[in-house]
Amino acid sequence: MNTTDTLLLSTLMGIAAGVASWTSRGWVGRMIDFIESDVQKKLRAMRIVAPRLRMYLSSWLYLMVIALAGLWFGYGNPVFAIMAVTLMGPLPWYLLRRMAERRRLQIEDQLAGSMTTLAGAIRAGLSLAQALEILAEQSPQPIRLEFQHMVGQYSMGKTLQETLLEAKQRLQSENFSMFAAAMLASRESGGKLNETVERIAESVREFQRLERKIESETAQARKSATYMAIAPPVILLVYYFVDPINTGRLFSTLPGQIMLSIAVLLNVSAWLWARSILSPDI
């Protein structure tokens, strides 16, 4: 292919990309709206404000398109292009899920201490609202943000029941659900809230002890899963030095590209599956 043919082909590809972008702008906009709504909901649950979220999501979407076009048309590898987009697409959701899970575990670890502080404040003669204000001032992050949000909602006129139910739905924590149920039940029946909260705090500590025990016992298995995920690229690199011609066919031929792409996707899926199975959940 001479220079004129190459220039003509590039021009036609640019025109086709522009026409496709113009005709699909409504569909792309609706897709970005859906993704933005879903991600914004998850960020709001983590008390994270992202005013430029739509710009970031649009940039990520365009980056995926550039990667697809670059690998497909620039290097002539449609298989690798599809594999790259398949891996890049769920990456923001995966990172967001890891952030939410890390924050949830931090709140779970801090909840037992907050319950003990609450029980002590009630035993000292403070009301439940005053005890929550103390938690909103003295608790560590990130649970302090949740208590501050609860106190703010309660101060703005919402009932304590509505505030606790909204926090329960937002946090999706079984331990906090028990905590909220105990406060509501004690408030309605007039029982001793400090004793109830102390018993729940002991139960939460026991759950945490069991989770840490399971986590320590499965730590080696999680490391093994990571090592198994790293092993195939290392083996492929070693084989390249041993037999570069046949190894290069995995990258230069269509059957090799298909097999290599399937192997990469299966390797990533196996690693994620192993991490999910080995995560302690009591």
Q: What is the pLDDT of residues 176-194, one digit of tens each?
A: 887 787 777 766 666 677 7
Which sign, positive or negative, has the C-alpha torsion 125, 128, 134, 139? Answer: positive
pLDDT at 51 over 80: no
Measured distance CA(11)–CA(198) in Å, rounded: 72
Element (H, E) at 64: helix 53-69
Residue 43 sits at the vertex; the CA angle it makes with 100 and 146, to the nearest 5 degrees, is 75
- What's the confidence (pLDDT) of residue 230? 92
Confidence band for 127, pLDDT divided at 50, 70 and 90: confident
pTM for this predicted structure? 0.68
Looking at every residue in the chain, the average pLDDT score rounds to: 78
Q: What is the pLDDT of residues 154-171, one digit of tens each?
A: 888 888 788 888 888 877
Token pair, residue 1, equals 């292919």
Residue 187 sits at the vertex; the CA angle it makes with 184 and 190, to the nearest 5 degrees, is 135
Measured distance CA(155)–CA(149) in Å, rounded: 10
Give the mean model confidence (pLDDT) for residues 245-271: 89
Give the mean model confidence (pLDDT) for residues 203-213: 80
Percentage of the chain beyond pLDDT 90 is 4
